[in-house]
Amino acid sequence: MQNEETKTMKTQLNLAVLALLLATGNRQLSTLHAQGVLTPPGAPAAGMKTLAQIEPRTPISAAPFTISTAGSYYLTTNLTVSVGNAITVSANNVTLDLNGFTLASTETPAGSSIGISLNSVTNTTIAHGCISSGVTNSGGIYGGSGFGSGIYYLGLAPVNVRVSGVSVSGCRVNGMFLGTSSVVEFCTVNTMGNFGIVAETVSDSLAQNCGNTAVYAYGNANNCFGYASGSANGVYANAANNCYGTSSGGSGLAASIANNCYGYTASNNNGLSATVANNCFGQSANGNGISATAATGCYGQSDAGLYSGVLASTANNCVGYSYGGGYGLYAYYIANGCYGYSASGTGLNALIASVCHGSTLSTSHSVNSF
């Protein structure tokens, strides 16, 4: 009897414990949910990029080639044409990467063909490569084979053009001839029958052995070198900064404002001509070394003839030498803190001379002021 009671009590106790465990364990069990449908909704999507995504540019592997759609283009190799233009850009919003390669022409004789022709376009960038042909200069006569011009426009002048890191050599006419809305930087031009580089702003560039003006900037020329083998200017700009210009027959450098510039001419023109010249050097074989309306901190030298080392309306802290019969320094109005020397003329001449000194080897006046 006692055993039956004991069994009954144990059974009741076990049921009570089980009920308690179920009551407390349901909290954890109730947080478990079904995982939903495990069947894939469809085939897996492509995980690799397309070729257009990896290289979103159009290759150019043959010439002549016409770009008629906006986008980015690049050369894949050196390209040579025997006649006509190499690349024609007739679409807006184009970037052309020469990719370190060269566009060349063997057209004989060099005519009016163009390495890269811009046809009334807007927003164009050309970079990183060469345009080459075989025109040479023989005594001022430019002739040979190749392109007429390196980069040139037909129709309306292009708008918003940038040319960077491009070299052009041996063209019968122009190297880079662009409009007033253009920038040329880090470029080199050599041996052009007409203009070297023509753009709104030209920076860190060189143009030499050009029959006309070597560097022509409608706006600013910065850190440029220009050599004109003809009768034009080496460098011409509205504002020239840290530029060097030389010419066989024209002014070495001509600008409205010239800062820290050097100009030399082998003719009877001015070595450096400016409305305002600051910290400049000008030398002429047979003309005025520096000719300016206002010259400050300048040095001018005239090697022969009846010309002045420095010729200015107002000269401040300038030095002028004339190794001919001209004036070392000639100021139409005021000379302040200046020095002038002449081998056989007047050392310094000014309407008003203040703290100035002049010297001469002749019997002329060392300092002449009124």
Question: What are the tens digits of pLDDT across the range 357-367?
Answer: 999 986 555 66
Read off the pLDDT of each residue in 27-38 and give the average, rounded to a whole number: 54
Residue 250's pLDDT is what? 95
Residue 11's pLDDT is what? 63
**Domain limits of the chain?**
57-212, 286-370
Q: Quick check: 23 pLDDT over 60?
A: no
Q: What is the dihedral of CA 244, 250, 251, 254, to 10 degrees?
A: -90
Largest CA distance in the chain: 159
Q: Name the band, by pLDDT with cuts 50, 70 and 90, for residue 54.
A: low
Read off the pLDDT of each residue in 348-355 and give the average, rounded to a whole number: 96
Tokens of 23: 């009551």
pLDDT mean across residues, the chain: 90
Q: Name the band, by pLDDT with cuts 50, 70 and 90, for residue 16.
A: low
Greater pLDDT, 112 or 53: 112
Q: Quick check: 36 pLDDT over 90?
A: no
Q: Quick check: 140 pLDDT over 70?
A: yes
Read off the pLDDT of each residue in 223-227 and give the average, rounded to a whole number: 98
Residue 42's contacts (CB-CB under 8 Å, 6 or more residues apart) are none
Of the listed ranges 22-36, 121-135, 151-165, 187-201, the least confidently predicted one is 22-36
Read off the pLDDT of each residue in 235-247 and give the average, rounded to a whole number: 98
Residue 37's pLDDT is what? 65
Of the listed ranges 304-313, 319-328, 357-366, the least confidently predicted one is 357-366
| 3-class secondary structure, 230 | coil
Q: Quick check: 32 pLDDT over 80?
A: no
Q: Name the band, by pLDDT with cuts 50, 70 and 90, for residue 47.
A: low
Read off the pLDDT of each residue in 246-251 and give the average, rounded to a whole number: 96
* Closest C-alpha among 258, 315, 264 to residue 289: 264
Residue 29's pLDDT is what? 46
Residue pLDDT, tens place only, 276-303: 999 999 999 999 999 999 999 999 999 9
Q: Quick check: 147 pLDDT over 60?
A: yes
Residue 30's pLDDT is what? 47
Q: Is the peptide bond before 40 cis (omega within 30 degrees of 0)?
A: no
Greater pLDDT, 9 or 49: 49
Residue 120's pLDDT is what? 94
Q: Are 151 and 115 in contact (CB under 8 A)?
A: yes
Alpha-helical (H) ranges within 155-199 are none
pTM assigned to the model:
0.85
Nearest-angstrom CA–CA distance, 286 and 302: 6
Q: Are 162 and 201 in contact (CB under 8 A)?
A: no
Residue pLDDT, tens place only, 108-135: 999 899 999 999 999 999 999 999 999 9
